[in-house]
Structure 1
Amino acid sequence: MVISQGKLMNIISKTNKNNRQRSRKLLTLTGITALVLTGGLAIQSANAQWYQWSRLTGIVYTQSNIPTPNANSILGFRRDALGMLTPLSTPFFPTGGAGFPNASIVGRGPFFITAFASDQEVIVNPEKTRLFAVNSGSNTIAVFDIHQDGSLSPVEGSPFPSGGVQPVSLGLAGDILTVVNQNLLPQIPSQEASDSLPNYTTFRVTPKGRLIPIPNSTASVPRGSLPTQALISPNKRLLFGMDGGTGLLRSYQILPNGRLQQSPSSPQQLPPAAFPPNPIGLTLGLQVHPRRPILYVGFTLSNQLGVYSYEPDGDLHLLRTVPNSGRAICWLVTNRAGTRLYTTNPGDNSVTVYDIGRDPSTPVEIQRVVLRGEMGTGTAQLALDSTESFLHVVSQPAISVANNRISVLRVNRYDGTVTEVPSSPQLIPSVNNSFPQGIVAN
């Protein structure tokens, strides 16, 4: 399906109109019930509840990932108190580069779901004043300033060379930005690709947002490794990565000068339990506990969650694996308190919730929710908003990219379980065979 950006936003606008009608009906029924049951006191309670809900508005960003030169963009949405997404008044912000097409990756040899083989394609700094995004199809990184109304403006000089071929993931440690260059795209010019290995490389971020390459900071990995993620430890001193194509777990120390130094046990082969018989070497998803030296790893092919401890120098030790009832566990996120861990499972379009509060080293599954929309290879990256009241999931259906979407789930503040909101999902129709990648929520 090939449509223009303008038609894309018209479709999204029509979808939003239907969602608003559903939300209004829900609010009306809720209000009537409250009045009948408790009269005037209920009105006061409803007003207080609405005041609390009104504080839960925020901004959500994803990347359109359009493969056409200079057509890639960041899509911005305002989320209201009920979780409904509405495009910003300026709905998309050009990145100055290109994404990569779905069809060029899916079905390519053993990497049959590499459309999803990366995380952290879009990130923001802790102050939520600056946004970074990959241009996977043009080997650059876009950097934006975030304004109070959610709009974005590129910093001077953006986009910047990524230091390799096909950037797919970003990690920020203070003013050090790490870029993962995957180097798997078939459409990259052969000479450029042959001269460059997949790598992790770092940049210094200036106060104005410019990216300055750090000399001798590039850590290359073998061709075909399929590095997927640049995960930064809570103390900003370690970088964790996964070679999805070979099943190797990597850890690096981030030195004060910004260079990367591989940790003693790196790279570390994943345990046999991570793969079923006749492995094809595809493992995705890394996340760190926010308060304990624990690393969680998604063992995609065996539907398990791996749990590792790590030393101050990044040395890793496998503690155990626990089952996941979803299919093809991929990307992971934890809440700030370190009591809940959420996973996406593309194989059955679901989200799994784990209790990690009682014992972070032994996650216990407490919920699995199948999201609305097309089944099959679907759920991908996920993000909690800054209040941790909503969980947002980017989905990329394998059967029809016209049904790309963002799903929004409300997080129960008492037990951390999730419920998909009535207006979800927000459709993002494909442009030139594109599928969205990455998500952040303020």
Structure 2
Amino acid sequence: MHPPRFLSVLTALSAAALMSVGALPSSSAVAEPPAKHFLITAGDASMGLSVMRVHDDGALTPTPGSPFRTGFGILGISVSPDKKKLYVPHVGDGAVSAFRIDDAGSLHLLNTVAVGGAPTGARVTPDGKHLYVVLGGFPGQVATLAITPSGALRPLNRPRPAIGTPSSAVGMASIDPDGRFLRVTSYISTTLTSYALSPNGGARSIGTTPVAFGPVAPGYTPDGRFLYSSDEFGFGLSGFRIHADGSLTPTPGSPYPTGGVPHGVITSPDGKRLYVPNAVGTSIAAYRIHPDGRLTRIAGSPYPGPAGTLCGQVALHPSGKWLYDIDVLTVGITTRITTYRVRADGGLAPTNRPVVDTGVVMSDGPVVALT
């Protein structure tokens, strides 16, 4: 990363040099029974989607055909509520692709829809009926696509509300767990714009909230009470309580320093812990989430990340016993996944598990999903 600029900007500047890398050929794999979980990682620069089978013991193995090729410039991915469809916006051709995920973890293209702009983020509604797409620009816009019963995408003739800032060149989206509100961070304009969503796919702006400079990849507690945004230029997290009308107020003590340049947020299924990778600083910060949304560091945090990498995103094993660190850039070129053991107190400990190579390049932004 070019500290402290967000790597999506770096992606845009280095695209021409990296397009030739391409997705790497897959390795052979022994047939296995259907898996319950897959870890999906996109590569901004290699036009590829890595799919890893997640085993009950925390091990990862590539699925047949991985990595799968898609459009160039992926800055975010979104999985359907039933975990069987994947939606991938790609900036290079201004389109969004829909894939079906089969029981073996292979991806099958359903269709690709042009969105009339540069899609920098997309999120599926909790009912699985709509996909909201953030379009970068001056100003940016929010577009809506309908999701058909098959999982394919269909354009909708809905007004495209502007993002309430001068620029949303690297806008990223999230939807509240109850599906009532869409949140869009604007990296350059240091704001978070909120929208009320309607059942027919409409979106109405309900105001903007100031955040620290460089907000990216907002995430929630599972109960939908709190929202946290990584603020790269602010070297910390902004925390907000979500009120019934969708408005936001800061949590006590916000913002919270992370010990580096934060690059995404994930919370534990019980909503009691939060983890954030520090891309610059190469570490993973861990916090306890208090009932009022306040964060306090877990002993030993931040924990060292793998040498020669920039920690990009983190994902938790469904059992809660392991945490996966997916680097955004590495001296090894292709994105690697490192496994940590989650201690009883929520802290992290290294394991002797081998580092896994995804075969994709530059996993920047919220481009990781665990089904």
Which TM-score tier does this pair reach, normalised by the shorter chain? 0.7 to 0.9
Question: What is the letter of the counterpart of residue 60 of structure 1?
Answer: L
Q: Distance in 2 between matches of 1:354 and 1:56?
A: 31
The one-character-per-residue Cα deviations of 1:333-382 (angstroms, maximum 9, x if unpaired) are: 112211111111111111111111x424211110321121315xx12233
The one-character-per-residue Cα deviations of 1:237-267 (angstroms, maximum 9, x if unpaired) are: 111111110111111111122111111xx11
Are residue 302 (structure 1) and residue 234 (structure 2) matched?
yes
Q: Residue 163 of structure 1: CA displacement?
A: 4.2
1:352-391 alignment, distance < 5 Å? 352-356=285-289, 358-366=290-298, 367-375=301-309, 378-391=310-323
2:261 to 328, 339, 355: 328
Q: Residue 9 of structure 1: CA displacement?
A: 4.2
Matched with 2:195 is 252
Pair 1:169–1:160, CA change in 2 (3 A): same
Matched with 1:44 is none
1:231 to 154, 166, 174: 174
Secondary structure of 1:261's counterpart equals: strand
Matched with 2:362 is 435
Pair 1:310–1:441, CA change in 2 (3 A): closer
Matched with 1:153 is 108
Q: Distance in 1 between matches of 2:195 and 2:227?
A: 14
Q: Distance in 2 between matches of 1:57 and 1:86?
A: 13
Q: Residue 440 of structure 1: CA displacement?
A: 1.3
1:259-338 alignment, distance < 5 Å? 259-263=202-206, 266-270=207-211, 274=212, 281-320=213-252, 321-338=254-271
Between Structure 1 and Structure 2, whose CA radius of gyration is higher? Answer: 1
Q: Distance in 2 between matches of 1:169 and 1:4?
A: 23
Q: Distance in 2 between matches of 1:410 and 1:146?
A: 28
2:63 to 88, 94, 110: 88
Secondary structure of 2:284's counterpart equals: strand
Q: Residue 154 of structure 1: CA displacement?
A: 1.5
- Paired residues of 2:96 and 2:119 also in contact (CA < 8 A): no
Secondary structure of 2:329's counterpart equals: coil
Q: Residue 124 of structure 1: CA displacement?
A: 1.4
Question: What is the letter of the counterpart of residue 243 of structure 1?
Answer: S
Question: What is the letter of the counterpart of residue 73 of structure 2?
Answer: G
Secondary structure of 1:137's counterpart equals: helix
Pair 1:349–1:169, CA change in 2 (3 A): farther
Question: What is the letter of the counterpart of residue 344 of structure 1?
Answer: P
Q: For structure 2, which runs of at least 5 residues remain unmatched after alignment?
A: 1-17
Question: What is the letter of the counterpart of residue 205 of structure 1?
Answer: I
1:90-169 alignment, distance < 5 Å? 90-95=65-70, 97-99=71-73, 121-155=76-110, 158-169=111-122
- Paired residues of 1:79 and 1:85 also in contact (CA < 8 A): yes
1:408 to 339, 344, 362: 339
Matched with 1:62 is 41
Matched with 1:47 is none
Secondary structure of 2:318's counterpart equals: coil
Q: Residue 227 of structure 1: CA displacement?
A: 4.3
Q: Distance in 2 between matches of 1:178 and 1:231?
A: 9
Q: Distance in 1 between matches of 2:345 and 2:190?
A: 34
Matched with 2:272 is 339
- Paired residues of 1:122 and 1:133 also in contact (CA < 8 A): yes
Q: Residue 167 of structure 1: CA displacement?
A: 3.1
- Paired residues of 2:312 and 2:329 also in contact (CA < 8 A): no
2:149 to 202, 207, 210: 207
* More helix per residue: 1
1:411-430 alignment, distance < 5 Å? 411-412=342-343, 414-428=344-358
Are residue 76 (structure 1) and residue 30 (structure 2) matched?
no
Q: Distance in 2 between matches of 1:381 and 1:171?
A: 19
Normalising by structure 2, we get a TM-score of 0.82
Q: Residue 292 of structure 1: CA displacement?
A: 4.9
- Paired residues of 2:67 and 2:358 also in contact (CA < 8 A): no
Identity of aligned residues (%): 21
Aligned length: 343
Q: Distance in 1 between matches of 2:115 and 2:318?
A: 28
Question: What is the letter of the counterpart of residue 94 of structure 1?
Answer: R
- Paired residues of 1:253 and 1:313 also in contact (CA < 8 A): no
Q: Distance in 2 between matches of 1:420 and 1:171?
A: 34
- Paired residues of 1:351 and 1:369 also in contact (CA < 8 A): yes
Question: What is the letter of the counterpart of residue 335 of structure 1?
Answer: S
1:182 to 136, 139, 145: 136
Question: What is the letter of the counterpart of residue 167 of structure 1?
Answer: T
- Paired residues of 1:56 and 1:387 also in contact (CA < 8 A): no
RMSD over aligned Cα, in angstroms?
Answer: 2.9
Q: Residue 81 of structure 1: CA displacement?
A: 4.4
Pair 1:5–1:232, CA change in 2 (3 A): closer
